[in-house]
Structure 1
Amino acid sequence: MPQLQAAVKELQEKGIALPDYPDEPGTDAERDARARYDKVKGSAVNPVLREGNSDRRAPASVKNYARNHPQLMGAWTPESKTTVATMGAHDFRSRQKSVVLPADDVLTIKHVAADGTGTVLKDGLKVLQGEVVDGTFMSAAALEAFLAEQVARAKAEDVLFSVHLKATMMKVSDPIIFGHVVRAFFADVYTAYGEQLLAAGLDGTNGIAAVLAGLDGLEDGAAIKAAFDQALADGPRLAMVNSDKGITNLHVPSDVIVDASMPAMIRTSGHIVGTRR
């Protein structure tokens, strides 16, 4: 928030007025303003955007209703094979580091490869004294190994495979991770047709639905579609968002949000309702 406030103050000092956010843009200028806001605003629940309305505590009336109408929990049995797997190492959590800035500064985000080659990802990043700067990274190789292991384990133990991310808010990292999950689940397809799929931008980042929709323009589209169907039949059973419509857990990154999906799974005794195919 201090950085945002500083940016707004700088514009005001220069006499540059920020346009209002148009809910229903009617002119080219309003459409341009809305597009600029939409590009940077992120999630609508971002507390930075809500400014003074960032209190996430539930009001007393909501707490009292929950106490008087508790949600029923399913009965867990010793035979339950439900497990939640996380990487535990080489992921964002284990690599996270933070620092409190001692003074106003201008930072550069730089990627340094194993061979020492440096690539500037972002420069001119203004920070203020007292701001907390947080950084982390994930090993893609470790992620791929982890996902391959989980897909194989789900198949061996005959449990539903599902992934739970927060792609609605983590708009950069989570879709990329989601793409890794899609490619891991359909590893044989990407081994056979990966060159064509990746060249067409069908890397799974936007989900398997986007991949299947893009097959029509490929020379081997029909064969690739058949390969995906075979992979679904041969692989572990896949959790579904809507089994009646055939929408799987891997169709769209934002269909399964960890905040809602994990509590729902816990309340239903470790089951994901309506997932058998």
Structure 2
Amino acid sequence: MARKSPFRRDRRKLPVHLLIPNLVTILGLCAGLTAIRFTFDDRFELAAALIIFAAVIDGLDGLIARRLKATSNFGAELDSFSDFVCFGVAPGILAYRFAMGDVQGAGWVFVLVFIICCCLRLARFNLNRDRPLPDGIRPHFVGVPAPAGAMLAMLPLFISFSGLIDTQRLGLPVALYVGFVGLMMVSRMPTISPKALRIRRDQTRWVLVGMAIVAGLVLTQVWLLMMFAVLVYLATLVHGAVQMLLRRRSHKGLAAQEEPGTASKEQNGE
């Protein structure tokens, strides 16, 4: 019996609609790569806009794949690679080129921390994406997701584009901030997942009104809108971190109450 050659072409026909999610992912990847190109041309606003566009695309390709029942391992790996370029490499280089000209050596170290942390975050996500959640646990991310990390890293740019503070003169603080965002991506802190958001039916009208406001700001004050959105997300991260610390303290307190003799022995040096 003849063995099938691994180099033989697969001539089976594939429905075109199954390629749509991957085509959307490639579109987002092209946006991220082009953002890097415009960064080196010092067209920072256009580069930031392309990364935001890539984030929107990233939210669509998975949804389209599920709706068309076109999910695949290839598509998942392609999406992960695109995320690394668009939300790790591109925003890191953009932040470095925009604000770290005076601290090139130190700035690049923190940019490397951000990019590597984004890579580690995506690798961890790939390992755990098919793992089911325990009963009673709401869907959430572990650490800051890569697209959100990119938006956080670009907060200094949004502030500067809004005309509030010239962050280009704050090279070292921006570098430290970008490195801290990278560490938040690889942290174990639970963060908000859109899948966990629920809206009461009697509140949907306010969501529609809010969308009209957002549309107006996109057309008039887009950088101010992005700055406000990132600050709101930062507030949710602070709230989540505080809640996590309180839970850990309560668990330690309960454990100490269950074993009252342990603490006394430790205090006596036994």
What TM-score, normalized by structure 2, do the two folds share? 0.27
Name the one with the larger strand percent.
1
Determine which structure has the larger helix proportion and give its number: 2
